Amino acid sequence: MNTIAIEPSIAARARALEASKIREVAEAGMKLGGVLPLWFGEGAWPTDARIVDAAVASLRAGNHMYQPNNGARALREEICRYSNGLFGCSLGPERVTVTPSGMQGLMLTAQILTSPGDRVVAVSPVWPNIVGAFSAMGADIVSVPLSVQAGKWALDMEALLAALTPQTHVFIVNSPNNPTGWAMSADDQKIVLEHCRKHGIWVVSDDVYARLYRHGDVAPSFLSIAEPEDRLLSVNSFSKCWSMTGWRLGWIVAPKALEEKLGQLTEFNTSCTPGFVQDAGIVALRDCEDEVGTLSAKIKTGYQIASDRLGRFSRVNFIEPDGAFYVFFKVEGIADSLKAAFDIMHSTKVGLAPGVAFGETGEGYLRLCYAQPQEVLEQAFDRLEAVLSD
Ligand SMILES: Cc1ncc(COP(=O)(O)O)c(C=O)c1O
């Protein structure tokens, strides 16, 4: 049977899904070959050997079996120790569900919270997979756009609070944000949390880039101000800070009341996260804090190069990020960012993500991931100069 025959018979929600425009460019670029890959959100560096060794040792020791739905107790405890130290909260393991990736954490979050037609408000531009998970569950997404004020991304709090109506079911925020690098201030988080408490709105906080913050060791997080029973789900991942994108390991912090349901939903998604991957996660959190520091230093160097070079390109409006490892910049004369990303890739062999992939607010922008070695970045900017500077 061909796809034309199958299409009408699959779920309307699946039919409505849109292909990722980041992938569109990247898949074409991978076929082309020789493209400097600044399109995805991942560092160029391999996982620390101690983490790899822990996974191998776990496999050798026979950790080959199904695991508890909510994750192995030892990792859940380790995540509590780590989070309590970092965010000053007092989580117990019953509040943590281990997930095979941050993305799966987002999908479980969408599954547990969303009924078709629910109003879900998201700060945008935003990584399309976050709102995509909620759309796939039938949510009506309402975007509250960031804007550029005095060379920095800013959120209009009045507009946000007006959008968070009593009919709103979920508020999604990713801070530091992919793609802009914008981070929500602790003061704004307090105001939003109070408002959401008043109207019974769930806060979904994507804290994946919390450690990659340019103004301190850790970005402000709702976890630092929320009560245990607040309607807050925080999603996190090992992918970025421990260079573990391919391992697929993350976690959700949720109120204790959701523990059982998150476990049941996990059963029908993946049943569990592989045990040897969880053992590697324990070592990452317990023994590899220095690895986060090393990565942060590399990212700092990457940012210096990116800001210095891009900032001097005459057609680029450089906007200073607060965190993460991206620059999201506007280019004079670019109206169709998807076409521009393709054109730039063909003419310079540098792979960038098109701004429109992150919502309409992102049209006219391009995203560049600077978590790359110095020589790759220098080469990329040498090539980009021809198309981004007059
Ligand atoms: C904001 C944000 N959240 C979550 C993720 C998911 O990461 P992973 O599924 O690799 O854990 C990403 C990955 O790019 C991201 O940018």
Phi and psi, residue 251, nearest 5°: -160, 160
Q: Look at the domain 64-288 and name its fold.
A: Aspartate Aminotransferase; domain 2 (3.40.640)
The answer to whether residues 172 and 131 touch, using CB atoms and an 8 Å cutoff, is yes
pLDDT tops 90 at residue 390: no
User: For the chain, first and last CA: distance in Å?
Assistant: 52
Architecture of the domain defined by 3-47+290-388: Alpha-Beta Complex (3.90)
Quick: pLDDT tens for 54-86.
999 999 999 999 999 999 999 999 999 999 999
Stretch 245-274: mean pLDDT, rounded? 98
Q: Is the CB of 174 under 6 A from ligand 1?
A: yes
Question: Does ligand 1 come within 6 angstroms of the Cβ of 323?
Answer: no
Give me the pLDDT at residue 5, please: 62
Which has more confidence, 11 or 245? 245
Residue whose structure tokens are 């040792």: 57
For residue 1, pLDDT beyond 50: no
Question: What are the boundaries of each domain within the chain?
Answer: 3-47+290-388, 64-288
Task: Give percent of the chain above pLDDT 90.
Answer: 93
- pTM for the model: 0.95
Summarised one tens digit per residue, pLDDT across range 134-164 is: 999 999 999 999 999 998 999 999 999 999 9
Residue with CA at minimum distance from ligand 1 atom 16: 178
Q: Which atom of ligand 1 is nearest to the CA of 208?
A: 3
Q: pLDDT per residue over 168-214, tens digit each?
A: 999 999 999 999 999 999 999 999 999 999 999 999 999 999 999 99
Kindly state the average pLDDT of the residues 335-347: 96
Is residue 143 within 8 A of residue 284, CB to CB? The reply is no
Range from 13-17, 97-101, 313-317 that averages highest in pLDDT: 97-101
Would the CB of 237 count as within 6 Å of ligand 1? yes
Average pLDDT over residues 365-376: 96
Q: Which residues contact 122 (CB under 8 A, 6 or more apart)?
A: 130, 131, 134, 141, 142, 143, 144, 171, 172, 173
